[in-house]
């Protein structure tokens, strides 16, 4: 049986609210938690596989050129070495998210320093690592293009990514207050704690890969395409994924090289990227140069918005960081000019890192808004509220819901924003200057096609999908949807994920996983409820399911009794429809931060931070909050410490480790506060839920940077706000 | 990591003898050596494991002072009651370094010998005079945020990353060395490190086979001790700059002042000449500024680390201010 | 080369390349995959285990150096059916998301609480007098050797706080 729902109209029934089990939205512990805290959850590189051997990638040491010769023989003769492989199918870079086909392949042409050129296979990891270090790859170097702002570079301006409305120049000229500044953000690394890893084993023509992937439906096709085999012959298993943040959206070197190597040596092969390789050869978020122009009248109402972004990418890659994604709809202004430019560089491939677009675009726009607020002498919260559009400012589409004003008000109240002194350097605590800052949050909302099979039997519920849980809480929230709909205690629900043999989900990315797959589970559950109602001779709406019992009129029947003749199994399918086009869908929120800037050293510490978010129905208040904590902490990193530093002569990422690429550590993060606004968005999904995983980063860094200005009067327009940039102004 | 012979000597003579041969290296905590061996930045052919030698004691000296065995871990040293009481600066410096896990492994001797964090030293595909003498210095003209403003040369601009050694430098520590000949010699820490000059691969006065057996701290003096570390994140990061101060103020004038600085030079940096300016003077902002300017007289930035000059200047002034106020 | 390792009270005879780190010995040779490899260079803490009661980065030590030592990994801290108080607290406070850094966090926290009991000061202790009070700031500083990219730090602090309050 299949229950197919196409999202062509808003679903205002709020069916989950009519259920009786009482688990939806509750802050329940993670279903798989006990496995994770006891070290028993099995990640990609940990599967016990007989006869396993180990492979290590060899990197390019130049930024551009060709491989002229690989001296394999001495390495092949080394202890334990089984093969040295420079197969043409090795990837140049990982696939972009939802690519569904292989990325650029071939290890002969070098496009960036760190590109994998060969793979060495040996009996042990120690042998493979040493052998890989000994492999001599002769190359012929060519001139590399490394500086994104070099004046000689051609700027691509993809049609469809530019907007021009009215006359921005005229608006700037006539403005009572205006801002015209250039801002910069550096490259970032997703840096999931689990490095990309795979174990590949062949059984005849059938390939099984245990991998660390976010989007199995696509990854299977990408892997098959890369290897030149049929997708039906590929099975990927990824029940536990040690974080992704965009870096594991598309198939990567580990899975492809391990598969090629396993075929070559006739044995299962394990391959994990080293941390350096994760930095060098998976995706980076492009650096950006962003010019923002804001024109406002005397009351602070925007008359013009200009946002021109320059980002970089390898030659031949379609993706480019969609910096201005939220600028299109965040604030009203008649005159608008949005420009998106790309330069081609010989640097690590640019790809999705948590909230591609908004993470840096909102951050810069919201920094500029702070500058405008100060110039106009208007409270930053008030300035934003004055510019919230009634409808999508670029096409008059209505918003599916718009919670920005509520989030701003709620945040200002919770944070005691009124205590802020707008004059910089006016609050002090010993050596520390204290400041408050805020910013808006927004992230586009997406629904994706998803399938899940839900089976109700006398023993409980089973949910199956190839969907992943990368820390996002998928296991738990899918179980909550089913438990609520089918009246089951949580422990009666089993969720099986991360296996391409199961119905295809959309994967974890774009914040769409929970709402999409959750909707597929919901659709299946609704049909199951109909079956049960039929058995009881009532209509579905009159059926109450709770604690394993069905209740209708005056009857209370154990479900086991109704299922005596066998389980009910339904494949739920959700398909995006007209609601994705007819309305503008976004999640909204607001960030408030208090920072301390050391007057001697310019060190910055975040003292308090609050995020208020509206993301439709919250499926689990605990896991949703944790997602937001994660986003906000990414924001702290973006604001203060995270930056890929490239050698100016080679483009090499010089800080390609955790000692020098500064993720925030525990001591950098205070007790963050998260507050959710009650919301149901009927346009978003049949469960009225929206994405949550990326909202928490989308603009977050600006609240901190704005607080730095309020603390010490120094405006940093070049992220991150490391002490050297503040020191000069103190 | 290259294959190596692994030996575990039973005593000092055997240890130094086994380490004398070319390609040999002692391993104690291993927290830096194994890190570098995995990358083949260092590739010893023999590892001499000294962990079971009897060098893990801290002993009070009859004439005052403390002898710290080379194998005393950073954790134990930071928590040692005598250190906390008499040399709080050292506890503070140790606690400002690395992480709880690393401090549990890292040893006193090993900490003194930890290698620079220069990006290019760590990259075997880039020229580096320290790693491969004569190959060139990639840091000059490259990314230099971490690099030295004092004591560097045209051949190397790397910094020494230790916090502990900076504190020890201000405390006038001495390094106790056992030679292959079985002789124990003592070298003041201020003479222990060599500046890079044109031989940046030679970092200390140690000869092949020489083993650090301990560090001796002189008897404590009545003074205020401060360690201030400035870094890019709140914890678990190397110093951009750090300052260690041992300052005594008596009757309104500075009796003695010893200051050492980290993150700015190829070794823990101390300027005895400048310290002379402080002795006998009344503490004042002007005096601290003059001292800082004297320390930074020869300072030279490389572009990416130019900020360290004003940063160190401000840190010195604030540290002296705090130390003299607390010492009054 | 054979090394006898005592792990979680059991003796294992390890036959492995001398270059094998304690972490790789656990994960590749002994089937104890609870300790994780996040960076392999002592920069993330995911590999944290206890050796003779002390937390260390198992990636930065050779297995062959540990004969005779008492090693405890997450598998020895508490099983799924019998979780330690800290493991329970990580569950209830949601002190993890993807779970990859979690065994290291819990091993680290387990030993960290002992360090506090022993009176070890930290970088943020106001005094070195040996009576540290376990404030949130103290917990954060002492746990800063364990990175978490899902960024559960506030929840990790809450979990440790609640486990330590419950035990005292």
Q: How does DSSP assign A591-660, residue by residue?
A: EEEEEEEETTT--EEEEEEEEEEE-BS-SBHHHHHHHHHHHHHHHHHHHHT--PPBPTTT--BTT-STTT
The answer for B 231-250 residues in CB contact with A (under 8 A) is 231-238, 240
CA of A244 vs chain C CAs: smallest distance (Å): 9
CATH code for position B279: 3.30.390.50
The residue range of the domain holding B241 is: 224-327
* pLDDT(B324) > 90: yes
- Domain boundaries of chain A, sorted by first residue: 2-41+447-581, 44-144+191-284, 396-440+585-727
- Residues of A within 8 A of C150 (CB-CB) are 193, 243, 471, 626, 630
Task: Please tell me whether residues C105 and C63 are part of one structural domain.
Answer: no
Residue in C with minimal Cα distance to B8: C65
- Determine, yes or no, domain membership for B141: no
Query: Quick one: pLDDT at residue A396?
Result: 87
Distance CA A518, CA A538 (A): 26
* Mean pLDDT of the B46-68 span: 97
For the segment B5-31, what is each residue's pLDDT rounded down to a tens digit? Answer: 999 999 999 999 999 999 999 999 999
| Cα–Cα distance measured from residue B200 to residue B137, given in angstroms and rounded to the nearest whole number | 10
- The partner residue sitting opposite A193, judged by closest CB among C38, C41, C106, is C38
Q: Tell me the three state secondary structure of residue A558.
A: strand
Give the angle C51-B70-B77 at the CA atoms, nearest 5°.
Answer: 65
* Boundaries of domain holding C42: 2-77
| C54 has a chain B CB within 8 A of its CB | yes
Residues of A in contact with C46 (CB under 8 A): 193
In a domain, B212, yes or no: no
In a domain, residue B275? The reply is yes
Asked if the C-beta of C99 comes within 8 angstroms of chain B's C-beta atoms, the answer is no
Q: Which residues of chain A have pLDDT under 70?
A: none
Give B 101-160 residues with CB within 8 A of chain A: 117, 119-120, 122-126, 138, 141-143, 145-146
Give the three-class secondary structure for B218. coil
Closest approach of B54 to chain C, Cα-based (Å): 16
- Which of C77, C98, C115 is the last residue in one of the domains? C77
Residues 6 or more apart in contact with residue B286 via CB below 8 angstroms: none
Task: Say if residues B195 and B268 touch (Cβ distance below 8 Å).
Answer: no
Closest-CA residue of chain C to A272:
C37
Of A600, A668, A728, the CB nearest to B234: A668
Do both C40 and C96 map to the same domain? no
Yes or no: say if A294 and A172 are a contact pair by the CB < 8 Å rule: no
Residue A486, pLDDT score: 98
**Considering only CB atoms, which chain A residues are within 8 Å of B142?**
647-649, 654
Query: In CATH, what is the architecture of A396-440+585-727?
Result: 2-Layer Sandwich (3.30)
Other chains touching C, judged by 3 or more CB pairs under 8 Å: A, B
C21 and C73 both lie in a single domain: yes
**CB proximity under 8 Å: A 326-365 to C:** none
Task: Kindly state whether residues C114 and C69 are assigned to the same domain.
Answer: no
Q: Please report whether residue B171 resides in a domain.
A: no
Contact indicator for C37, A195 with CB cutoff of 8 Å: yes
Residues B231-257 pLDDT 10s: 999 999 999 999 999 999 999 999 999
Neighbour-count burial of A375, counting CB atoms closer than 10 A to its CB (0-12 exposed, 13-18 middle, 19+ buried): middle
Domain check: are C53 and C98 in the same one?
Answer: no
Q: What is the mean pLDDT of chain B?
A: 97
Q: Residues of chain B with pLDDT > 90: what percent?
A: 99
Asked if the interface predicted TM-score (ipTM) of this complex is over 0.90, the answer is yes
pLDDT of residue A403: 97
Q: Which of C47, C77, C107 is the last residue of a domain?
A: C77
Q: Which residues of C touch B234 (CB under 8 A)?
A: 141, 144
Give the pLDDT confidence of A14-38 residue by residue, as tens digits. 999 999 999 999 999 999 999 999 9
Looking at the structure, do residues C73 and C90 belong to the same domain, yes or no?
no
Give the number of other CB atoms < 10 A from CB of residue A388. Answer: 16
Size (chain A), residues:
730
CA distance A77 to A64: 30
Domain termination residue (choose one: C77, C100, C130): C77
> CB distance from A152 to chain C under 8 Å?
no
- Identify the residue whose tokens are 């002090």: A428
- Asked if B233 lies within 8 A of A61 by C-beta distance, the reply is no
C127 and C143 share one domain: yes
Q: What pLDDT score was predicted for residue A159?
A: 93
Is A32 among the catalytic positions? no
Best residue in B47, B232, B305, B306 for a mutation probing chain A (most A CBs within 10 Å): B232
In chain B, which residues have their Cβ closer than 8 Å to the Cβ of C130? 81, 84
pLDDT band per the 50, 70, 90 thresholds, residue C1: confident
**Equal CATH topology for A44-144+191-284 and A396-440+585-727:** yes
**pLDDT at A60 (0 to 100):** 98
Main-chain phi, psi angles of A702, to 5 degrees: -65, -35
Whether residue B180 lies inside any domain: the answer is no
Q: Right CATH number for A2-41+447-581 from 3.40.50.970, 1.10.540.10, 3.30.365.10, 3.40.630.30? A: 3.30.365.10
B41: domain CATH number is: 3.30.43
Q: Judge whether residue C168 has pLDDT over 90.
A: no
Work out the pLDDT band at B304, boundaries 50, 70, 90. Answer: very high
Cα–Cα distance measured from residue B94 to residue B68, given in angstroms and rounded to the nearest whole number: 14
Chains with 3 or more CB pairs under 8 A to chain B: A, C
Q: CATH code at C93?
A: 1.10.150.120
CATH 3.30.365.10 is right for the domain spanning A44-144+191-284: yes
């Amino acid at each position: 049986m299949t229950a197919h729902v196409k999202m062509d109209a808003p679903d205002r029934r709020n069916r989950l609210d009519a259920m009786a089990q009482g688990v939806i939205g509750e802050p329940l512990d993670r279903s798989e938690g006990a496995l994770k805290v006891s070290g028993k959850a099995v990640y990609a590189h940990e599967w016990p596989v007989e006869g396993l051997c180990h492979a290590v990638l060899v990197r390019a040491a130049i930024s551009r050129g060709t491989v002229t010769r690989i001296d394999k023989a001495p390495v092949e003769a080394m202890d334990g070495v089984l093969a040295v492989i420079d197969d043409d199918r090795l990837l140049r870079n990982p696939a972009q998210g939802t690519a569904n086909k292989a990325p650029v392949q071939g290890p002969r042409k070098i496009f960036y320093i760190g590109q994998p050129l060969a793979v060495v296979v040996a009996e042990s990891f120690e042998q493979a690592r040493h052998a890989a270090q000994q492999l001599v790859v002769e190359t012929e170097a060519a001139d590399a293009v490394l500086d994104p702002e070099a004046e000689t570079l051609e700027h691509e301006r993809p049609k469809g990514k530019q907007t021009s409305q009215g006359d921005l120049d005229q608006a700037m000229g006539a403005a009572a207050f205006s801002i015209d500044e250039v801002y910069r953000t550096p490259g970032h690394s997703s840096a999931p704690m689990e490095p990309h890893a795979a174990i590949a084993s062949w059984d005849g023509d059938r390939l099984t890969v245990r991998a660390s992937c976010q989007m199995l439906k696509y990854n299977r096709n990408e892997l098959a395409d890369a290897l030149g085999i049929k997708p039906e012959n590929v099975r990927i298993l990824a029940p536990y994924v040690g974080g992704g943040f965009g870096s594991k959206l598309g198939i990567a070197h580990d899975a492809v090289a391990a598969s090629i190597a396993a075929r070559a040596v006739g044995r299962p092969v394990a391959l994990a990227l080293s941390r350096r390789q994760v930095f060098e050869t998976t995706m980076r978020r492009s650096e950006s140069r962003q010019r923002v122009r804001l024109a406002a009248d005397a009351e602070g109402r925007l008359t013009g918005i200009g946002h021109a972004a320059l980002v970089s990418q390898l030659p031949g890659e379609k993706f480019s960081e969609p910096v201005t994604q939220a600028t299109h709809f965040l604030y009203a202004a008649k005159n608008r000019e949005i420009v998106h430019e790309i330069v081609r560089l010989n640097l690590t491939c640019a790809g999705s890192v948590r909230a591609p677009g908004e993470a840096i675009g909102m951050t810069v726009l919201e920094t500029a808004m702070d500058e405008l607020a100060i110039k106009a002498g208007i409270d930053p919260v008030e300035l934003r509220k004055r510019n919230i559009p009634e409808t999508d400012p670029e096409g008059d589409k209505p918003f599916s819901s718009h919670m920005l004003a509520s989030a701003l008000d709620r945040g200002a109240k919770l944070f005691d924003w009124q205590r802020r002194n707008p004059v910089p350097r006016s609050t002090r605590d010993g050596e520390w200057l204290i400041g408050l800052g805020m910013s808006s949050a927004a992230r586009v909302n997406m629904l994706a096609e998803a399938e899940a099979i839900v089976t109700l039997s006398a023993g409980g519920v089973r949910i199956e999908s190839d969907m992943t849980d990368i820390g996002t809480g998928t296991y738990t929230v899918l179980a909550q949807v089913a438990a609520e709909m089918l009246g089951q205690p949580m422990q009666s629900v089993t969720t099986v994920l991360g296996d391409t043999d199961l119905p295809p989900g959309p994967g974890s990315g774009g914040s769409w996983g929970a709402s999409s797959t959750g909707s597929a589970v919901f659709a299946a559950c609704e049909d199951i409820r109909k079956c049960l109602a039929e058995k009881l001779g009532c209509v579905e709406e009159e059926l109450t399911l709770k604690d394993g019992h069905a209740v209708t009129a005056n009857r209370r029947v154990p479900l086991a009794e109704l299922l005596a003749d066998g389980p009910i199994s339904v494949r739920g399918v959700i398909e995006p429809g007209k609601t994705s086009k007819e309305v503008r869908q976004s999640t909204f929120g607001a960030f408030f931060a208090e920072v301390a800037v050391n007057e001697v050293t310019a060190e910055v510490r975040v003292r308090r931070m609050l995020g208020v978010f509206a993301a439709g129905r919250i499926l689990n208040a605990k896991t949703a909050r944790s997602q937001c904590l994660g986003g906000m902490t990414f924001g702290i990193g973006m604001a203060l410490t995270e930056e890929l530093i490239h050698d100016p002569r080679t483009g090499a990422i010089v800080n390609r480790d955790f000692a020098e690429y500064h993720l925030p550590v525990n001591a950098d993060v205070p007790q963050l506060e998260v507050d959710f606004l009650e919301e149901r968005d009927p346009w978003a999904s049949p469960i009225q839920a929206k994405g949550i995983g990326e909202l928490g980063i989308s603009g977050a860094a600006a609240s901190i940077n704005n607080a730095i200005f309020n603390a010490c009067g120094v405006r940093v327009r070049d992220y991150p706000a490391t002490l050297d940039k503040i020191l000069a102004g103190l | 990591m290259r294959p190596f012979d692994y030996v575990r000597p039973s005593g000092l003579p055997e240890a130094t003898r086994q380490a004398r041969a070319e390609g040999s290296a002692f391993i104690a905590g291993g927290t830096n050596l194994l890190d570098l061996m995995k990358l083949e930045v260092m590739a010893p052919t023999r590892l001499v494991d000294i962990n079971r030698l009897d060098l893990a004691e801290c002993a009070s000296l009859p004439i005052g002072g403390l002898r710290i065995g080379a194998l005393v871990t950073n954790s134990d040293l930071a928590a040692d009651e005598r250190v906390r009481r008499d040399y709080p600066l050292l506890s503070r410096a140790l606690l400002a370094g690395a992480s709880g896990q690393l401090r549990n492994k890292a040893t006193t001797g090993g900490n003194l010998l930890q290698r620079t964090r220069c990006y290019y030293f760590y990259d075997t595909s880039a020229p580096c005079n320290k790693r491969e003498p004569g190959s060139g210095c990639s840091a000059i003209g490259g990314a230099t945020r971490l690099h030295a403003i004092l004591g560097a040369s045209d051949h190397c601009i790397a910094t020494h990353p230790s916090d502990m050694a900076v504190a020890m430098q201000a405390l006038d520590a001495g390094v106790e060395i056992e030679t292959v000949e079985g002789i124990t010699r003592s070298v003041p820490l201020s003479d222990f490190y060599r500046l890079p000059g044109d031989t940046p691969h030679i970092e200390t006065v140690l000869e092949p086979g020489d083993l650090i057996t301990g560090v001796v701290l002189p008897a404590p003096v009545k003074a205020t001790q401060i360690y201030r570390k400035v870094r890019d994140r709140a914890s678990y990061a190397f110093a951009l700059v750090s300052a260690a101060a041992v300052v005594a103020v008596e009757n309104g004038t500075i009796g003695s002042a010893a200051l050492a600085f980290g993150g700015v030079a190829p070794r823990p940096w101390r300027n005895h000449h400048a310290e002379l300016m402080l002795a006998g003077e009344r503490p004042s902002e002007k005096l601290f500024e003059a001292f800082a300017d004297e320390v930074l007289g020869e300072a030279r930035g490389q572009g990416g680390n130019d900020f360290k000059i004003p940063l160190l200047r401000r840190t010195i002034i604030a540290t002296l201010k705090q130390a003299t106020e607390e010492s009054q | 080369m054979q090394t006898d390792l005592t792990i979680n009270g059991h003796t294992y005879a390890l036959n492995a390349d001398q270059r094998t780190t304690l972490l790789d010995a656990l994960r590749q040779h002994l089937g104890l995959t609870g300790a994780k490899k996040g960076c392999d260079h002592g920069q993330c803490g995911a590999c944290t285990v206890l050796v003779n009661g002390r937390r260390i980065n198992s990636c930065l030590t050779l297995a062959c150096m540990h004969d005779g030592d008492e090693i405890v990994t997450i598998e020895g801290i508490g099983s799924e059916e019998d979780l330690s108080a800290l493991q329970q607290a990580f569950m209830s406070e949601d002190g993890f998301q993807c779970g990859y850094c979690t065994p290291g966090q819990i091993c680290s926290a387990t030993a960290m609480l002992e360090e506090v009991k022993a009176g070890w000061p930290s970088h943020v202790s106001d005094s070195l007098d040996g009576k540290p009070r376990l404030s949130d700031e103290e917990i954060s500083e002492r746990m800063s050797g364990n990175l978490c990219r899902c960024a559960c730090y506030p929840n990790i602090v809450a979990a440790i706080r609640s486990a330590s309050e419950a035990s005292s």
